[in-house]
Structure 1
Protein backbone atom coordinates (compact mmCIF):
# COMPACT_ATOMS: atom_id res chain seq x y z
CA UNK A 1 0.00 0.00 0.00
CA UNK A 2 2.75 2.46 0.93
CA UNK A 3 4.55 1.85 -2.37
CA UNK A 4 1.39 2.63 -4.34
CA UNK A 5 0.91 5.84 -2.34
CA UNK A 6 4.53 6.84 -2.93
CA UNK A 7 4.15 6.35 -6.67
CA UNK A 8 0.96 8.42 -6.71
CA UNK A 9 2.59 11.31 -4.86
CA UNK A 10 5.66 11.21 -7.04
CA UNK A 11 3.33 12.47 -9.74
CA UNK A 12 4.18 15.88 -8.31
CA UNK A 13 5.55 16.58 -11.76
CA UNK A 14 2.14 17.96 -12.81
CA UNK A 15 2.27 20.60 -10.11
CA UNK A 16 5.95 21.20 -10.74
CA UNK A 17 5.17 21.72 -14.43
CA UNK A 18 2.57 24.37 -13.61
CA UNK A 19 4.98 26.15 -11.29
CA UNK A 20 7.71 25.93 -13.92
CA UNK A 21 5.40 27.51 -16.50
CA UNK A 22 4.83 30.45 -14.14
CA UNK A 23 8.23 30.73 -12.42
CA UNK A 24 10.81 29.13 -14.71
CA UNK A 25 12.96 26.07 -14.22
CA UNK A 26 13.37 25.01 -10.60
CA UNK A 27 16.53 24.16 -8.76
CA UNK A 28 16.51 20.45 -7.91
CA UNK A 29 17.86 20.18 -4.39
CA UNK A 30 18.65 17.16 -2.27
CA UNK A 31 18.45 18.41 1.32
CA UNK A 32 20.73 15.68 2.71
CA UNK A 33 23.43 18.13 3.80
CA UNK A 34 20.83 20.28 5.56
CA UNK A 35 19.50 17.11 7.24
CA UNK A 36 23.00 16.31 8.51
CA UNK A 37 23.47 19.86 9.74
CA UNK A 38 20.32 19.68 11.90
CA UNK A 39 22.24 17.41 14.26
CA UNK A 40 24.90 20.01 15.00
CA UNK A 41 23.47 23.39 13.96
CA UNK A 42 20.36 25.44 14.48
CA UNK A 43 18.90 25.19 10.98
CA UNK A 44 15.99 27.60 10.52
CA UNK A 45 12.45 26.47 9.79
CA UNK A 46 10.89 25.49 7.50
CA UNK A 47 14.15 24.11 6.09
CA UNK A 48 15.01 21.88 9.05
CA UNK A 49 11.68 20.02 9.01
CA UNK A 50 11.60 19.89 5.22
CA UNK A 51 15.05 18.28 5.14
CA UNK A 52 13.90 15.62 7.59
CA UNK A 53 10.80 14.74 5.59
CA UNK A 54 11.73 14.86 1.88
CA UNK A 55 14.47 13.26 -0.19
CA UNK A 56 14.50 15.92 -2.90
CA UNK A 57 12.90 19.29 -3.54
CA UNK A 58 12.00 21.41 -6.53
CA UNK A 59 12.84 24.95 -5.48
CA UNK A 60 11.84 28.26 -7.07
CA UNK A 61 12.85 31.74 -6.00
CA UNK A 62 10.04 34.27 -6.37
CA UNK A 63 12.30 37.31 -6.09
CA UNK A 64 9.63 39.94 -6.78
CA UNK A 65 7.80 38.80 -3.65
CA UNK A 66 10.88 37.91 -1.59
CA UNK A 67 9.80 34.29 -1.25
CA UNK A 68 10.90 30.75 -1.96
CA UNK A 69 8.59 27.92 -3.07
CA UNK A 70 9.63 24.33 -2.32
CA UNK A 71 7.78 21.26 -3.58
CA UNK A 72 8.54 17.74 -2.39
CA UNK A 73 7.11 14.41 -1.31
CA UNK A 74 7.40 13.59 2.39
CA UNK A 75 8.15 9.88 2.26
CA UNK A 76 11.35 9.39 4.27
CA UNK A 77 9.75 8.07 7.46
CA UNK A 78 8.16 4.65 6.82
CA UNK A 79 5.98 5.15 9.90
CA UNK A 80 4.51 8.42 8.62
CA UNK A 81 1.81 9.07 6.10
CA UNK A 82 3.13 10.09 2.67
CA UNK A 83 2.32 13.72 1.88
CA UNK A 84 2.82 16.14 -0.97
CA UNK A 85 4.38 19.25 0.56
CA UNK A 86 4.34 22.73 -0.88
CA UNK A 87 6.19 25.24 1.29
CA UNK A 88 6.26 28.99 0.74
CA UNK A 89 8.64 31.00 2.90
CA UNK A 90 10.46 34.30 3.05
CA UNK A 91 13.46 32.63 4.70
CA UNK A 92 16.35 31.85 2.35
CA UNK A 93 17.45 28.23 2.16
CA UNK A 94 20.51 27.44 4.27
Structure 2
Protein backbone atom coordinates (compact mmCIF):
# COMPACT_ATOMS: atom_id res chain seq x y z
CA UNK A 1 0.00 0.00 0.00
CA UNK A 2 1.33 3.40 -0.95
CA UNK A 3 1.35 6.16 1.57
CA UNK A 4 0.44 9.73 0.83
CA UNK A 5 4.07 10.81 0.66
CA UNK A 6 4.51 8.87 -2.58
CA UNK A 7 2.10 11.18 -4.39
CA UNK A 8 3.78 14.55 -4.80
CA UNK A 9 1.84 17.49 -6.02
CA UNK A 10 2.75 18.76 -9.41
CA UNK A 11 2.98 22.44 -10.14
CA UNK A 12 -0.25 23.39 -11.82
CA UNK A 13 0.56 26.99 -12.53
CA UNK A 14 1.27 27.24 -16.23
CA UNK A 15 3.17 30.22 -17.57
CA UNK A 16 0.93 33.02 -18.78
CA UNK A 17 0.45 33.35 -22.51
CA UNK A 18 2.20 36.37 -23.89
CA UNK A 19 0.20 37.36 -26.93
CA UNK A 20 1.01 40.73 -28.51
CA UNK A 21 -1.72 43.34 -28.24
CA UNK A 22 -2.26 43.53 -32.01
CA UNK A 23 -2.85 39.78 -32.21
CA UNK A 24 -5.23 39.92 -29.24
CA UNK A 25 -7.29 42.63 -30.92
CA UNK A 26 -7.33 40.68 -34.17
CA UNK A 27 -8.40 37.43 -32.50
CA UNK A 28 -10.96 39.24 -30.37
CA UNK A 29 -12.53 40.79 -33.47
CA UNK A 30 -12.32 37.50 -35.39
CA UNK A 31 -14.02 35.51 -32.63
CA UNK A 32 -16.66 38.24 -32.24
CA UNK A 33 -17.52 38.06 -35.95
CA UNK A 34 -17.56 34.24 -35.91
CA UNK A 35 -19.80 34.28 -32.86
CA UNK A 36 -22.33 36.64 -34.41
CA UNK A 37 -22.36 34.77 -37.75
CA UNK A 38 -22.84 31.37 -36.11
CA UNK A 39 -25.62 32.78 -33.93
CA UNK A 40 -27.35 34.12 -37.04
CA UNK A 41 -27.04 30.75 -38.79
CA UNK A 42 -28.40 29.02 -35.68
CA UNK A 43 -31.34 31.44 -35.52
CA UNK A 44 -32.20 30.87 -39.18
CA UNK A 45 -32.01 27.09 -38.85
CA UNK A 46 -34.13 27.23 -35.70
CA UNK A 47 -36.80 29.26 -37.49
CA UNK A 48 -36.81 26.79 -40.39
CA UNK A 49 -37.11 23.95 -37.90
CA UNK A 50 -40.04 25.61 -36.08
CA UNK A 51 -41.78 26.36 -39.37
CA UNK A 52 -41.46 22.69 -40.33
CA UNK A 53 -43.02 21.67 -37.03
CA UNK A 54 -45.92 24.11 -37.35
CA UNK A 55 -46.77 23.32 -40.95
CA UNK A 56 -46.09 19.56 -40.60
CA UNK A 57 -44.24 19.69 -43.88
CA UNK A 58 -43.11 16.27 -45.15
CA UNK A 59 -39.43 16.25 -45.97
CA UNK A 60 -37.09 13.89 -47.72
CA UNK A 61 -34.85 11.87 -45.39
CA UNK A 62 -31.76 13.45 -46.94
CA UNK A 63 -32.74 16.89 -45.62
CA UNK A 64 -30.19 17.70 -42.89
CA UNK A 65 -32.41 19.54 -40.40
CA UNK A 66 -34.96 16.88 -39.54
CA UNK A 67 -35.58 15.09 -36.27
CA UNK A 68 -32.69 14.57 -33.82
CA UNK A 69 -30.07 15.41 -36.42
CA UNK A 70 -31.70 18.84 -36.80
CA UNK A 71 -31.74 19.39 -33.04
CA UNK A 72 -28.06 18.47 -32.78
CA UNK A 73 -27.01 20.63 -35.71
CA UNK A 74 -28.81 23.69 -34.36
CA UNK A 75 -27.40 23.05 -30.89
CA UNK A 76 -23.92 22.71 -32.41
CA UNK A 77 -24.19 26.12 -34.05
CA UNK A 78 -25.34 27.74 -30.80
CA UNK A 79 -22.59 26.07 -28.74
CA UNK A 80 -19.90 27.04 -31.24
CA UNK A 81 -21.21 30.60 -31.14
CA UNK A 82 -21.05 30.60 -27.35
CA UNK A 83 -17.51 29.21 -27.40
CA UNK A 84 -16.33 31.87 -29.84
CA UNK A 85 -18.03 34.56 -27.74
CA UNK A 86 -16.16 33.39 -24.63
CA UNK A 87 -12.88 33.40 -26.57
CA UNK A 88 -13.59 36.93 -27.80
CA UNK A 89 -14.25 38.12 -24.25
CA UNK A 90 -11.11 36.36 -22.99
CA UNK A 91 -8.92 37.98 -25.66
CA UNK A 92 -10.42 41.43 -25.08
CA UNK A 93 -9.78 41.23 -21.32
CA UNK A 94 -6.10 40.43 -21.68
Bigger strand share: 1
Q: TM-score, normalising length from structure 1?
A: 0.31
Q: TM-score, normalising length from structure 2?
A: 0.31
Q: Which has the higher contact order (CA 8 A, sep 6+)?
A: 2
Larger radius of gyration between Structure 1 and Structure 2: 2
